[in-house]
Structure 1
């Protein structure tokens, strides 16, 4: 049979149409959701709106298929991750270790007491050695420059498990939690009430890209870094969202959908006088039901944990408005979504979630 006859046959036409529909399944409304395979994730500043949306979509897909449909998805079978922890952790360690194993891979937990990195061996050499032994590295470090050096020298993806500048994997979990609760993200307002730190920085690097308005309330002298504020202002203008910086927590809470805070004082490191000054500086910043009284009627509360009473009282923390425990659980699904996205060409099977 000639190629012309085959091309004009009803069967060929049907198969061509079927293929076209199959392709459009992931392209309609998501044509630009680019793959991030092979990339590192040191900060969400480096990721576009579509790339962040794709990671969240993959995360929601894995959660649905594995948790709800009880599917076994060995997407990372035969792969290993080096988990380097200079700082202790509950959620980051457990979510990464159990998540990588659930996907069929082998997690290796390493502290500074277990390896030579930064002690008897420089970061450059350690990065090159680990690149030949595993497929991806997650590092929870004190200095962001450590991550930058690892990323510069490694030939495999690096994930920021927390640094002094950014905490991107926390924000992915936060936005998945908010999306699940409200059904979409665009047009919502998130109010950060507390200290400018790595978590607030990460919110600012992602919020505008998802159509989310941001309000930041800090005491004077505790604002996010100047460069982060400037980038947040640029992103807000680019994406048509609002960005407010204030020293009044009630102004920030007004008409907000999400109230969020984090630790103000490191009680293990700061001297007693420093603690007293910090608590005095933050008077009025504790999130209470009074804070929420000026927010949207359906406002919710988030906290990356661990929490101290000074930041939020029990009435809010253990209320039905608090999504802190679903938020903590989503750390697992979003780190899984990120690792799968960085290591594979996986396409979600569920319809794209609404942003």
Structure 2
């Protein structure tokens, strides 16, 4: 069997993604019940960080430990990648010493080039194009609180960036409808909109976008590497703040998510994370459990979610 990677939600079948989500829920229950399960004993995950992180590092490192394995943290200054070694050379060497590699990077091509020469699974911990691990956690969170997301309406409010792109992929794989509300000029790339097809629509008015939605989600308006655009973005996105009044227009059982960190007073109101409709803290915790299921699926021979 060829090496499986997880660079995009499209790398797994819908059935495999649903299986990973179900296994994440199961692993979370086992953890809460203090049941020790160590399928990845003696396995090692290498973690390459070109972008800083709190949740990604903690969830992958803690996840490997909880599954009986270990994780090695490498910043860009800790590897020869940071000194100009070709990505494919690094992949050939690292994949002879590790059981999987997680990369959090800028250019998505870094991931695809590394994966092309890697003997072991490569996981996208975030790139400028996509953030599929966050979507696994989001899908697990919705499933825990509301059941199947199939046929539901999800509203993305904010920049059409990597998180929005991954939501488009998730809409295709989990069969839900996605409304995207963003300023003109900040839409997702055309290739992602084409991928979404009829499942995805652009809606400029945030009130119209959230009307009747079952899940409303957003992210910061200025991502890493865009700091020079911050003032311009604050002005352009000001009308898209998600607050309690906006959520009141959604379905009665709406959930609100934010992948964090949040800029309170900007993309969300100061009090929104404290609203009972917000599940952002469960969502953050589920990075740990969803990624444990992902690691088990990719590394453990024969571990394939049913």
TM-score range, shorter chain: over 0.9
TM-score by length of 2: 0.95
Among 72, 79, 98, the alignment partner of 1:134 is 98
**In structure 1, distance between residues paired with 2:118 and 2:303:** 23
SS at structure 2 position matched to 1:56: helix
Q: Which structure 2 segments of 5+ residues have no match? A: none
Which is further off, 54-63 or 78-87? 54-63
**What residue in structure 2 maps to residue 287 of structure 1?**
242
RMSD of aligned Cα (Å):
1.7
Instruction: Give the secondary-structure state (helix, strand or coil) at the position aligned to 1:220.
Output: coil
Asked if residue 249 in structure 1 is aligned to residue 206 in structure 2, the reply is: yes
Q: Distance in 2 between matches of 1:89 and 1:37?
A: 30
Distance 1:263 1:37 in 2: 37
Offset of residue 250 of structure 1: 1.2
User: In 2 relative to 1, CA 37–338 (structure 1 residues): closer, same or farther, beyond 3 Å?
Assistant: farther
Gaps of 5+ in 1: 1-35, 237-241
- Map of 1:310 onto structure 2: 266
Q: What is the Cα deviation at residue 303 of structure 1?
A: 0.3
Q: How many residues align?
A: 304
1:162-191 deviation digits (Å, cap 9, x = unpaired): 000000000000010011011222222110
Corresponding residue for residue 50 of structure 1: 15
Aligned pairs for 1:102-181 (under 5 A) are 102-181=66-145
Give the whole-Å Cα distance in 1 for the aligned partners of 2:110 and 2:9: 17
CA distance in 2, matches of 1:149, 1:38: 14
Superposed CA deviations along residues 31-72 of structure 1, whole A, max 9, x for unmatched, are xxxxx994100001222211211111221221122323x211
Query: Residues 306-332 of structure 1, C-alpha deviation per residue, up to 9 Å, x if partnerless?
Result: 111210002222111111110000000
Equivalent residue for 2:159? 195
1:213-269 deviation line (CA, Å, top 9, x unaligned):
111110100001110100011xx5xxxxx4221221111101001110001124875
Superposition deviation, residue 299 in structure 1: 1.2
CA shift at 1:339, angstroms? 0.6
- 2:39 is matched with 75
Q: TM-score normalised to the size of structure 1?
A: 0.82
Do the aligned partners of 1:37 and 1:342 also contact (CA within 8 Å) in 2?
Answer: no
Instruction: State the match for 2:217 in structure 1.
Output: 260
Aligned partners of 2:59 and 2:291 also within 8 Å: yes
After TM superposition, the structure 1 stretch with the greater mean CA deviation from structure 2, 181-190 or 339-348, is: 339-348
| Contact 1:38–1:343 (8 Å) recurs in 2 | no
